[in-house]
Amino acid sequence: MSPSPVLPPPPVSVVGIGADGWSGVSGGAREALREAEVVIGGARQLDLLPPECAGVRVAWPSPLRPAVPRLLAEHRERRIAVLASGDPMFYGIGRALAEELGPEALRVLPHPSSVSYACARLGWPLEDTEVVTLVGRPVSRLAVALHEGRRLLALSADASTPATVAALLTAHGFGPSRMRVLEQLGSEAEAYVEGVAESWAHAPGDRLNVIAVDCRASQDALRLGAVPGLPDEAYEHDGQLTKRHIRAATLGALAPAPGELLWDVGGGSGSIAIEWMRTHASCRAVSVERDPVRAERIARNADRLGVPGLRVVTGPAPSSLSDLSELDVPDAVFIGGGLTAPGLLDACWEALRPGGRLVANTVTLESEALLAERYRTYGGELTRLAVAHAVPVGGFTGWRQAMPVTQWSVRKPSPPASLPVPGDRT
């Protein structure tokens, strides 16, 4: 007699629920919640369910993410429903569940998100509205999205978030921006307040809120564009700064793409790593700087310019790179200082993934000679970048030449190859 086949566990139902509670849950989602033997969710969400949902109710602990594998494993042979706010796949628990179980093990039943409700109330096209979540994330992330005339929706962490956002807007020169705080969207208690960021005086309201911002810059606001090459005055620095025009050319050679990781070796003021991360919200970077004062300055620049997720490593290279290579393989490496340090260039090359890009800049003859040798033996592009600025000369105007920068950019071949020893043509 052949053994009975082992049946896979039932799919996990992931049910979106809004501030309107049970009345807003669709028929299919109601059925999934009634049939569930275990319902997992936030305490507030679980309280929205009626008695007819008779399954065991399990509240998420804090922190949530580490608890996901354990709770799923404890109840895996039972019918599980997981409650989520709005659309589970939009900054919701659906992502963590898909990563843990795989999408084929889920049955996702979404509810309109707070963003959909907000755009419906405001008359804003969803596809033209930038969304930034501040739930569990620094409010400084909003800074990268500030541009004259843009419409933003910020997902609040709690009732205090609107005042914090108003203060950030004002500090970044966007004090004239109109703000509207929409609370309890989709429920009978729905309400909103509005005002101007620089004169925001509303007391904290409901913790379930979304902040709508019509971005308006003040006349003296520093303009920060959407492409690399921010003004030098956007950075706090001690002179160790890749200047604007060289920075734009360097980011062009590094060619950031969504999701990629950069190592910025010899961070200085962090400008290359910061502008790499500003190109797309999913771009990641590590800035390596041996001077602790400069490392702290890099962190401040990153926070102010909207990329607080920049990781700053304080220590000399190449010794400080060994731990990094064990965590994640870089897609690109920029070397802005310390090129003559023994083993630095080789360590960066070995850490780089096949197909990745390496870019190195220098202004010294010694480092330039090193790059020229590597170029002769390994190819890539060797470029000299020279910039001059018009300055007063008496009653006239003349050119002041900045120090020329020699840049070597190269793509690591696939399959991986060792970086040749300079002068070795075998």
| Successive 10-residue mean pLDDT values, the chain, 426 residues | 64 94 92 96 94 94 90 91 95 94 94 96 96 95 96 97 98 98 94 97 96 97 94 93 95 97 95 97 96 96 97 92 80 93 93 95 94 92 95 94 95 71 49
> Whole-angstrom Cα distance, residue 10 to residue 185?
33
Whether the CB-CB separation of 348 and 335 falls below 8 Å is answered with yes
> Whole-angstrom Cα distance, residue 16 to residue 91?
12
Closest Cα partner for 133 from 149, 147, 115? 115
State the pLDDT at residue 324: 81
How many Cα atoms within 13 Å fall on the side-chain side of residue 236?
13
Whether the CB-CB separation of 350 and 416 falls below 8 Å is answered with no
In which element (H, E) is residue 230 found? none
Strands (E), 74-208: 80-85, 106-109, 130-133, 151-155, 178-183, 191-196
State the pLDDT at residue 128: 96
State the pLDDT at residue 378: 86
> Whole-angstrom Cα distance, residue 132 to residue 49?
29
Whether the CB-CB separation of 212 and 245 falls below 8 Å is answered with no
Residue type, 251: L
Whether the CB-CB separation of 39 and 81 falls below 8 Å is answered with yes
First to last CA, the chain: 68
Return the sign of the alpha-carbon dihedral for residues 272, 277, 283, 287: positive
> Whole-angstrom Cα distance, residue 16 to residue 81?
10
* CA distances in angstroms from 130 to 123, 151, 241, 269, 343, listed in the order given: 14, 6, 30, 28, 44
Q: Whose structure tokens read 């840049």?
A: 407
Whether the CB-CB separation of 36 and 79 falls below 8 Å is answered with yes
In which element (H, E) is residue 247 found? helix 244-254
Phi, psi of 55 (to 5 degrees): -65, 160
DSSP state of 421: P
State the pLDDT at residue 425: 45
State the pLDDT at residue 234: 96
Structure tokens at 107: 């049955």
The helix/strand/coil state of 399 is strand
* CA distances in angstroms from 33 to 18, 84, 416, listed in the order given: 15, 12, 52
Which residues fall within 8 angstroms of residue 260, CB to CB, at 6 or more apart? 283, 284, 331, 332
Whether the CB-CB separation of 155 and 190 falls below 8 Å is answered with no
Q: Whose structure tokens read 């500090």?
A: 171
What pTM did the predictor assign?
A: 0.90
The helix/strand/coil state of 312 is strand
State the pLDDT at residue 184: 95
DSSP assignment of 187-226 equals STT-EEEEEEGGG--PPP--SSEEEEEE----TTPPP--S
Q: What burial class does residue 24 get, using C-beta atoms within 10 Å of its C-beta: 0-12 exposed, 13-18 middle, 19+ buried?
A: middle
Structure tokens at 310: 């920049």
Q: What are 183's strand-pairing partners?
A: 191, 209
State the pLDDT at residue 325: 65
